Each structure stands twice: as C-alpha cells, then as structure tokens.
Structure 1
C-alpha cells in the first residue's frame, strides 16, 4: 500500500494481525504527537482510550473527539493526524483488503463518479 502508516509512522503503528482478508493495526501516541501523511483503506476503528485529534488532508481538517470503547467506520482516505487532546490515543484499525460493493452490485474499485459526494474525512458512525 502506498503511504502505508506502518512505514510512514512506525513509532505509532504496528501490525497486530494480518491474513488475506484483513490487516489489524494498533495505534498509540501521546498529546502533541503528529503523524505524517498516510493512507488507510476502508476500515473499522476501535478506540481503547478517549481522545481528541485533528485529521487533515488536502487543506481540509476536522476535529474528532471519541470516547473509549467506540467503534467507527473509516472510509478509505489519505490524511495526517495530530493529538490535540490531553490524553494518549490508543486504537485498533481493522483494515479491509477487499473493496465494498455499491448498491447496484458493481465493484466499488476505481475512481468515484463525479456526481457522487467525496468520502468524509475522519471516522463516521455509518
């Protein structure tokens, strides 16, 4: 994977498990820590600690605050992050190795159609 977070940010990301269907990454950092830009495929993020972060990509940024024990969908994205809170960040990412299916049953691989909205930056509940 281009801009693999394990390679771009080895002090924070480690592979906890991997097979032909998923890769599970563990992420840890401390307040003030910043990551360099990296990619995530479609993933589920599971928080082990409460944290506050700023996620940035292509000049846009969002602030995210999540409690411990939350599970959130993370659509494929390229970003960098910064711990802007007062607590350590500790999460797991379950990265999917297969692309999802669109509602019409076609593969979701490739570029989205121009009429489709861009994927949101950061985690979402859906």
Structure 2
C-alpha cells in the first residue's frame, strides 16, 4: 500500500510540480482534519499560514506550532497528523528525490520539522 501523501490523503495534498529531482506538494486542511500515516522523503517545508498540529509516529506524539513565513527542514519520516488549532493549515513541501548522506541514529529519529528561519 502506498505511503505517498498525495495518494493516502488526496483531499489534503496536491502535487503542484514534479521533475526527476524534486516534487512540490501543496498542503491545506481545516481545524480537526487528520491525515493517515504517510511518508515524506527529506523535504523543505514553507508555511503559508500559522498552524498548530499534532504529529504521531511509532507511539510518539509531538505538538507543532509554526507561524506563517517559516522555512523548515523535514528529515525523511513517516507520520500521521491532526490540525489541533483553530486556523486552516496551508504549506508547501519541496521533497528531494535524491537520498541524503547517512545519519547517525538512523532515519526518522526526528518527528516534525527542525531548524529554520523566517523571511
């Protein structure tokens, strides 16, 4: 069964660009919306709106709150999510198709976005 978010959650994820090196997804949801488990390769996330989400994977949960205009790195991971805020989520994911260097501790140790900056 596919873990591609555009397949598992087509009402929330839309492919807006793709070539042999990257795929760009647009994500939109409303308060209370949930995703089923899906995978992201190493990606860059750009938040177009403020949002609050709960991400779940492997028995772990993390709450994420990000303002609009944030750019964050997302390590390859599998998770499900839920909009736990009172605003709609709107973000862009730039998924890398080329694998990155191996990391100590293995892939998927980090749940949710990390690092980043605002414009």
Q: TM-score, normalised by structure 2?
A: 0.91
Please tell me whether the aligned partners of residues 2 and 39 of structure 1 are also in contact (alpha carbons under 8 angstroms): no
Query: Is the CA contact 2:2–2:8 (under 8 Å) kept in the aligned structure 1?
Result: no
- Matches of residues 1-126 of structure 1 in structure 2 within 5 Å? 2-101=2-101, 108=102, 116=105, 119-125=109-115
Shift of 1:4: 0.2
Cα deviation 1:52-109 (Å, max 9, x = unaligned): 00000011010000000000000000000000001000000000000113xxxxxx3x
CA distance in 2, matches of 1:40, 1:5: 8
Q: Helix, strand or coil: the match of 1:11?
A: coil
Write the distance in 1 (CA, Å) between the matches of 2:113 and 2:92. Answer: 13
**Hey, which of these two has a bigger chunk of strand by percent?**
2
Distance 2:19 2:4 in 1: 16
Runs of 4+ residues over 2 Å off in structure 1 = 116-119
User: Structure 2: any 5+ residue segments left out of the alignment?
Assistant: none
| TM, length-normalised to structure 1 | 0.86
